[in-house]
Structure 1
Amino acid sequence: MTAEAAKAEALIRHYFDMCNAADLQGLIECFTPDAVHYFPPGLPGAPWRGAKAIAEGWVWCVETLGSKWTIEKVLCTADGREGVIEWTHWKTAIGEVLRGDEWYVFNDDISRIVEIRAYYASPVDKSAPVNKLQEFDYEKRGYHLSPPLVKGRA
Protein backbone atom coordinates (compact mmCIF):
# COMPACT_ATOMS: atom_id res chain seq x y z
CA MET A 1 0.00 0.00 0.00
CA THR A 2 1.30 3.44 -0.88
CA ALA A 3 1.63 6.17 1.73
CA GLU A 4 -1.14 8.10 -0.04
CA ALA A 5 -3.54 5.13 0.02
CA ALA A 6 -2.77 4.61 3.72
CA LYS A 7 -3.49 8.30 4.40
CA ALA A 8 -6.86 8.04 2.61
CA GLU A 9 -7.79 4.90 4.56
CA ALA A 10 -6.79 6.55 7.84
CA LEU A 11 -9.03 9.55 7.04
CA ILE A 12 -11.99 7.28 6.31
CA ARG A 13 -11.46 5.38 9.56
CA HIS A 14 -11.11 8.66 11.50
CA TYR A 15 -14.37 9.88 9.92
CA PHE A 16 -16.16 6.74 11.13
CA ASP A 17 -14.68 7.20 14.61
CA MET A 18 -16.09 10.74 14.64
CA CYS A 19 -19.48 9.44 13.43
CA ASN A 20 -19.61 6.83 16.20
CA ALA A 21 -18.58 9.43 18.78
CA ALA A 22 -21.17 11.92 17.45
CA ASP A 23 -18.33 14.47 17.49
CA LEU A 24 -19.76 17.44 15.60
CA GLN A 25 -16.51 19.41 15.33
CA GLY A 26 -14.49 16.30 14.57
CA LEU A 27 -16.89 15.46 11.76
CA ILE A 28 -16.80 18.98 10.33
CA GLU A 29 -13.00 18.77 10.24
CA CYS A 30 -13.18 15.60 8.09
CA PHE A 31 -14.68 17.54 5.17
CA THR A 32 -13.96 20.44 2.88
CA PRO A 33 -16.46 23.25 3.60
CA ASP A 34 -18.30 22.58 0.32
CA ALA A 35 -18.34 18.76 0.58
CA VAL A 36 -21.38 16.81 -0.64
CA HIS A 37 -22.74 13.47 0.62
CA TYR A 38 -25.03 11.80 -1.92
CA PHE A 39 -27.57 9.09 -1.03
CA PRO A 40 -29.93 6.76 -2.90
CA PRO A 41 -33.45 8.13 -3.50
CA GLY A 42 -35.78 8.38 -0.53
CA LEU A 43 -33.73 10.12 2.17
CA PRO A 44 -35.38 13.46 2.98
CA GLY A 45 -33.02 16.41 2.61
CA ALA A 46 -30.48 14.50 0.52
CA PRO A 47 -27.94 15.18 -0.68
CA TRP A 48 -26.31 16.73 2.37
CA ARG A 49 -24.28 19.77 1.26
CA GLY A 50 -21.51 21.31 3.32
CA ALA A 51 -19.32 19.98 6.12
CA LYS A 52 -21.63 21.29 8.84
CA ALA A 53 -24.78 19.78 7.30
CA ILE A 54 -23.10 16.39 6.91
CA ALA A 55 -21.83 16.48 10.50
CA GLU A 56 -25.22 17.53 11.87
CA GLY A 57 -26.91 14.74 9.92
CA TRP A 58 -24.75 12.03 11.49
CA VAL A 59 -24.99 13.50 14.99
CA TRP A 60 -28.79 13.48 14.59
CA CYS A 61 -28.65 9.81 13.54
CA VAL A 62 -26.62 8.87 16.63
CA GLU A 63 -28.88 10.84 18.98
CA THR A 64 -32.18 9.79 17.38
CA LEU A 65 -31.62 6.37 15.83
CA GLY A 66 -28.85 5.07 18.09
CA SER A 67 -26.63 4.88 15.00
CA LYS A 68 -23.29 3.16 15.07
CA TRP A 69 -21.18 2.16 12.08
CA THR A 70 -18.61 -0.47 11.26
CA ILE A 71 -16.27 -0.56 8.27
CA GLU A 72 -16.13 -3.97 6.66
CA LYS A 73 -13.76 -3.44 3.71
CA VAL A 74 -11.63 -0.55 2.41
CA LEU A 75 -9.94 -0.02 -0.97
CA CYS A 76 -8.08 3.18 -1.88
CA THR A 77 -6.38 4.23 -5.09
CA ALA A 78 -2.58 4.28 -5.06
CA ASP A 79 -2.57 8.08 -5.32
CA GLY A 80 -4.98 8.37 -2.37
CA ARG A 81 -7.42 10.60 -4.24
CA GLU A 82 -10.34 8.13 -4.12
CA GLY A 83 -11.49 5.21 -2.02
CA VAL A 84 -14.40 2.85 -1.58
CA ILE A 85 -15.63 1.09 1.52
CA GLU A 86 -18.25 -1.42 2.52
CA TRP A 87 -20.02 -0.53 5.78
CA THR A 88 -22.75 -1.55 8.19
CA HIS A 89 -25.06 1.05 9.77
CA TRP A 90 -26.50 -0.19 13.06
CA LYS A 91 -29.63 1.77 14.05
CA THR A 92 -29.79 0.38 17.57
CA ALA A 93 -32.67 2.52 18.89
CA ILE A 94 -35.05 1.33 16.17
CA GLY A 95 -33.71 -2.18 15.60
CA GLU A 96 -32.60 -1.76 11.98
CA VAL A 97 -29.38 -2.71 10.23
CA LEU A 98 -28.38 -1.39 6.80
CA ARG A 99 -25.39 -2.45 4.72
CA GLY A 100 -23.89 -0.62 1.78
CA ASP A 101 -20.91 0.94 0.03
CA GLU A 102 -19.55 4.45 -0.26
CA TRP A 103 -17.26 6.01 -2.82
CA TYR A 104 -14.96 8.76 -1.49
CA VAL A 105 -13.21 11.64 -3.24
CA PHE A 106 -10.49 13.50 -1.30
CA ASN A 107 -8.85 16.90 -1.64
CA ASP A 108 -5.35 17.29 -3.10
CA ASP A 109 -3.41 16.64 0.11
CA ILE A 110 -5.78 13.87 1.27
CA SER A 111 -6.62 15.77 4.45
CA ARG A 112 -10.36 16.25 3.82
CA ILE A 113 -13.27 14.49 2.14
CA VAL A 114 -14.73 16.35 -0.85
CA GLU A 115 -17.51 13.92 -1.79
CA ILE A 116 -19.19 10.72 -0.65
CA ARG A 117 -21.58 8.69 -2.78
CA ALA A 118 -23.53 6.12 -0.75
CA TYR A 119 -25.09 2.97 -2.21
CA TYR A 120 -27.34 0.72 -0.16
CA ALA A 121 -27.20 -3.06 -0.37
CA SER A 122 -30.96 -3.15 -0.71
CA PRO A 123 -33.97 -0.88 -0.41
CA VAL A 124 -34.75 -0.26 3.24
CA ASP A 125 -37.37 -2.80 4.29
CA LYS A 126 -38.87 -1.57 7.56
CA SER A 127 -40.27 -5.07 8.27
CA ALA A 128 -36.83 -6.74 8.09
CA PRO A 129 -34.67 -6.77 11.23
CA VAL A 130 -31.52 -6.61 9.07
CA ASN A 131 -31.35 -5.02 5.61
CA LYS A 132 -28.65 -6.87 3.66
CA LEU A 133 -27.75 -8.56 0.40
CA GLN A 134 -29.86 -11.62 -0.25
CA GLU A 135 -28.00 -14.89 0.48
CA PHE A 136 -24.69 -13.12 1.19
CA ASP A 137 -22.99 -14.91 4.10
CA TYR A 138 -21.87 -11.94 6.21
CA GLU A 139 -20.77 -14.15 9.10
CA LYS A 140 -18.65 -16.46 6.95
CA ARG A 141 -16.96 -13.46 5.33
CA GLY A 142 -16.04 -12.03 8.74
CA TYR A 143 -18.48 -9.11 8.89
CA HIS A 144 -19.61 -7.68 12.20
CA LEU A 145 -22.85 -9.21 13.46
CA SER A 146 -23.42 -6.71 16.27
CA PRO A 147 -22.80 -2.97 16.69
CA PRO A 148 -19.49 -1.73 18.10
CA LEU A 149 -19.02 -0.93 21.73
CA VAL A 150 -18.25 2.78 21.79
CA LYS A 151 -16.61 4.19 24.88
CA GLY A 152 -19.09 6.37 26.80
CA ARG A 153 -22.09 5.33 24.66
CA ALA A 154 -24.53 2.44 25.08
Structure 2
Amino acid sequence: MSFYTDPDIARRAETMEQTIRTYFDGCNEADSGKIMSCLTVEAVHYFPPRMYRGPFRGARTVADRWIEAVNEMGSYWSIDTLLIEPISYRAVMEWTHFKTKHNKMLRGDEWYEFDPASGLIKEIRAYYASPQASDLTVLELGDFDYAGRGYPAAPPPGAR
Protein backbone atom coordinates (compact mmCIF):
# COMPACT_ATOMS: atom_id res chain seq x y z
CA MET A 1 0.00 0.00 0.00
CA SER A 2 1.36 3.40 -0.96
CA PHE A 3 0.97 6.73 0.81
CA TYR A 4 1.35 8.60 -2.46
CA THR A 5 -1.78 9.83 -4.22
CA ASP A 6 -0.08 10.38 -7.58
CA PRO A 7 -0.28 6.99 -9.32
CA ASP A 8 3.08 7.44 -11.09
CA ILE A 9 4.86 8.20 -7.81
CA ALA A 10 3.08 5.28 -6.10
CA ARG A 11 4.19 2.93 -8.90
CA ARG A 12 7.74 4.22 -8.67
CA ALA A 13 7.76 3.55 -4.91
CA GLU A 14 6.55 -0.01 -5.49
CA THR A 15 9.11 -0.59 -8.22
CA MET A 16 11.96 0.75 -6.07
CA GLU A 17 10.94 -1.47 -3.17
CA GLN A 18 10.71 -4.52 -5.43
CA THR A 19 14.13 -3.75 -6.91
CA ILE A 20 15.74 -3.66 -3.46
CA ARG A 21 13.97 -6.86 -2.40
CA THR A 22 15.02 -8.60 -5.62
CA TYR A 23 18.59 -7.41 -5.07
CA PHE A 24 18.61 -8.95 -1.58
CA ASP A 25 17.02 -12.15 -2.87
CA GLY A 26 19.81 -12.32 -5.45
CA CYS A 27 22.46 -11.76 -2.78
CA ASN A 28 21.00 -14.46 -0.53
CA GLU A 29 20.64 -16.87 -3.45
CA ALA A 30 24.15 -16.06 -4.77
CA ASP A 31 22.46 -15.33 -8.11
CA SER A 32 24.71 -13.07 -10.17
CA GLY A 33 22.09 -12.38 -12.84
CA LYS A 34 19.47 -11.39 -10.30
CA ILE A 35 21.88 -9.08 -8.46
CA MET A 36 23.08 -7.39 -11.66
CA SER A 37 19.52 -6.98 -12.96
CA CYS A 38 18.90 -4.52 -10.12
CA LEU A 39 22.00 -2.37 -10.68
CA THR A 40 23.22 0.04 -13.31
CA VAL A 41 26.35 -1.25 -15.05
CA GLU A 42 28.46 1.39 -13.29
CA ALA A 43 26.82 1.06 -9.85
CA VAL A 44 29.02 1.68 -6.80
CA HIS A 45 28.62 0.14 -3.33
CA TYR A 46 30.52 2.20 -0.70
CA PHE A 47 31.73 0.95 2.70
CA PRO A 48 33.60 2.36 5.68
CA PRO A 49 37.40 2.56 5.20
CA ARG A 50 39.36 -0.70 5.02
CA MET A 51 36.25 -2.83 4.59
CA TYR A 52 35.97 -5.36 1.79
CA ARG A 53 39.02 -4.01 -0.10
CA GLY A 54 37.23 -0.71 -0.75
CA PRO A 55 34.10 0.17 -2.72
CA PHE A 56 32.61 -2.35 -5.11
CA ARG A 57 32.61 -0.64 -8.52
CA GLY A 58 30.35 -1.98 -11.24
CA ALA A 59 27.39 -4.36 -11.19
CA ARG A 60 29.60 -7.37 -11.99
CA THR A 61 31.95 -6.61 -9.08
CA VAL A 62 29.03 -6.15 -6.67
CA ALA A 63 27.59 -9.50 -7.70
CA ASP A 64 30.94 -11.30 -7.59
CA ARG A 65 31.81 -9.96 -4.13
CA TRP A 66 28.46 -10.91 -2.57
CA ILE A 67 28.61 -14.37 -4.11
CA GLU A 68 32.10 -14.68 -2.61
CA ALA A 69 30.66 -13.65 0.79
CA VAL A 70 27.95 -16.30 0.56
CA ASN A 71 30.47 -18.98 -0.37
CA GLU A 72 33.21 -18.02 2.10
CA MET A 73 31.24 -16.72 5.10
CA GLY A 74 27.80 -18.26 4.66
CA SER A 75 26.38 -14.74 4.35
CA TYR A 76 22.66 -14.17 4.59
CA TRP A 77 21.02 -10.73 4.81
CA SER A 78 17.63 -9.71 6.13
CA ILE A 79 15.75 -6.55 5.33
CA ASP A 80 14.68 -5.22 8.73
CA THR A 81 13.24 -1.80 7.87
CA LEU A 82 12.82 -0.26 4.43
CA LEU A 83 11.83 3.33 3.66
CA ILE A 84 11.28 4.46 0.08
CA GLU A 85 11.32 8.07 -1.08
CA PRO A 86 10.30 7.90 -4.75
CA ILE A 87 10.25 11.63 -5.47
CA SER A 88 14.04 11.86 -5.01
CA TYR A 89 14.71 8.29 -6.19
CA ARG A 90 16.20 7.32 -2.80
CA ALA A 91 15.64 4.68 -0.17
CA VAL A 92 17.14 3.74 3.17
CA MET A 93 17.13 0.36 4.80
CA GLU A 94 18.24 -1.29 8.03
CA TRP A 95 19.59 -4.81 7.59
CA THR A 96 21.15 -7.68 9.48
CA HIS A 97 24.05 -9.64 7.96
CA PHE A 98 24.50 -13.15 9.30
CA LYS A 99 27.93 -14.69 8.64
CA THR A 100 26.88 -18.23 9.43
CA LYS A 101 30.28 -19.88 8.85
CA HIS A 102 31.89 -17.46 11.33
CA ASN A 103 29.06 -17.40 13.86
CA LYS A 104 28.85 -13.59 13.52
CA MET A 105 26.06 -11.13 13.00
CA LEU A 106 26.27 -7.44 12.20
CA ARG A 107 23.74 -4.72 11.68
CA GLY A 108 23.74 -1.57 9.68
CA ASP A 109 21.87 0.52 7.19
CA GLU A 110 22.26 1.50 3.60
CA TRP A 111 21.25 4.46 1.50
CA TYR A 112 20.17 3.68 -2.04
CA GLU A 113 20.17 6.06 -4.98
CA PHE A 114 18.32 5.05 -8.13
CA ASP A 115 18.95 6.11 -11.68
CA PRO A 116 15.75 7.92 -12.79
CA ALA A 117 16.15 6.85 -16.43
CA SER A 118 16.50 3.11 -15.83
CA GLY A 119 14.93 2.73 -12.39
CA LEU A 120 17.96 0.70 -11.30
CA ILE A 121 20.16 1.14 -8.23
CA LYS A 122 23.16 3.30 -9.09
CA GLU A 123 24.68 3.73 -5.62
CA ILE A 124 24.60 2.04 -2.24
CA ARG A 125 26.22 3.57 0.85
CA ALA A 126 26.67 1.13 3.75
CA TYR A 127 26.88 2.26 7.37
CA TYR A 128 27.73 -0.28 10.06
CA ALA A 129 26.68 -0.47 13.70
CA SER A 130 30.16 -1.32 14.94
CA PRO A 131 32.96 0.19 16.99
CA GLN A 132 34.80 3.12 15.53
CA ALA A 133 38.37 2.63 14.34
CA SER A 134 40.43 4.24 17.12
CA ASP A 135 43.34 5.07 14.81
CA LEU A 136 41.23 7.19 12.43
CA THR A 137 40.37 10.84 12.97
CA VAL A 138 37.88 11.01 10.11
CA LEU A 139 35.29 8.23 10.13
CA GLU A 140 33.40 8.18 6.86
CA LEU A 141 32.86 6.00 3.82
CA GLY A 142 36.06 5.19 1.95
CA ASP A 143 36.49 6.94 -1.42
CA PHE A 144 33.11 8.68 -1.20
CA ASP A 145 33.19 12.26 -2.59
CA TYR A 146 31.75 14.09 0.42
CA ALA A 147 33.17 17.49 -0.61
CA GLY A 148 31.94 17.10 -4.18
CA ARG A 149 28.43 16.44 -2.91
CA GLY A 150 28.40 19.41 -0.58
CA TYR A 151 28.81 17.59 2.75
CA PRO A 152 30.47 19.68 5.47
CA ALA A 153 34.13 18.99 6.25
CA ALA A 154 34.12 20.93 9.52
CA PRO A 155 31.59 22.35 11.96
CA PRO A 156 30.42 25.92 11.37
CA PRO A 157 32.54 28.72 12.89
CA GLY A 158 31.80 29.15 16.58
CA ALA A 159 30.48 25.63 17.05
CA ARG A 160 31.81 23.69 20.01
TM bin, normalised by shorter chain, reads 0.7 to 0.9
Letter in 1 for 2:34: G
Q: Residues 44 and 13 from structure 1, CA distance in 2 versus in 1: closer, same or farther, beyond 3 angstroms?
A: closer
Q: 8 Å contact 1:34–1:51 — kept in the other structure?
A: yes
The equivalent of 1:98 in structure 2 is 106
RMSD after superposition: 1.5
Matched position secondary structure for 2:96: strand
The TM-score, its normalising length taken from structure 2, stands at 0.73
Residue of structure 2 equivalent to 1:30: 38
8 Å Cα contact 1:81/1:110 also seen in 2: no
* Pairing of 1:20-99 with structure 2 (within 5 A): 20-79=28-87, 81-99=89-107
Q: Deviations over 1:63-118 (max 9, x none)?
A: 00000000000001132611000000000001110100000001114631100000
Matching residue of 2:157: none
Q: Please report how far the alpha carbon of residue 44 of structure 1 lies from its aligned counterpart in structure 2 after TM superposition.
A: 3.8
Decide which of 6, 27, 37 is 2:14's aligned counterpart: 6
Helix, strand or coil at the partner of 1:15: helix
- Aligned residues of 2:16 and 2:86 also touching (Cα < 8 A): no
- Counterpart secondary structure, 1:7: helix
Distance 1:44 1:102 in 2: 15
Unpaired stretches in structure 1, ≥5 consecutive residues: 125-154
Cα gap change, 1:110 to 1:6, in 2 (>3 Å): farther
Runs of 4+ in 1 over 6 A off after TM superposition: none
Aligned letter for 2:42?
Answer: D
Does the CA-based 8 Å contact 1:87-1:100 persist in structure 2? yes
Aligned 8 A contact 1:8 1:80 in 2:
no
The answer as to whether partners of 2:77 and 2:96 remain within 8 angstroms in 1 is yes
Unaligned stretches of 5+ in structure 2? Answer: 3-9, 133-160
Q: Which amino acid aligns with 1:31?
A: L
Q: Out of 107-116 and 9-18, give the one that drifted further.
A: 107-116
Kept in 1: contact 2:39–2:121 (CA 8 A): yes
Counting matched residue pairs gives 124
Counterpart residue type for residue 68 of structure 2: W
| Distance in 1 (alpha carbons) for counterparts of 2:129 and 2:50 | 14
Q: Secondary structure at the match of 2:17?
A: helix
1:38–1:78 CA distance, 2 compared to 1 (3 A)? same
Q: Percent sequence identity over matched residues?
A: 46
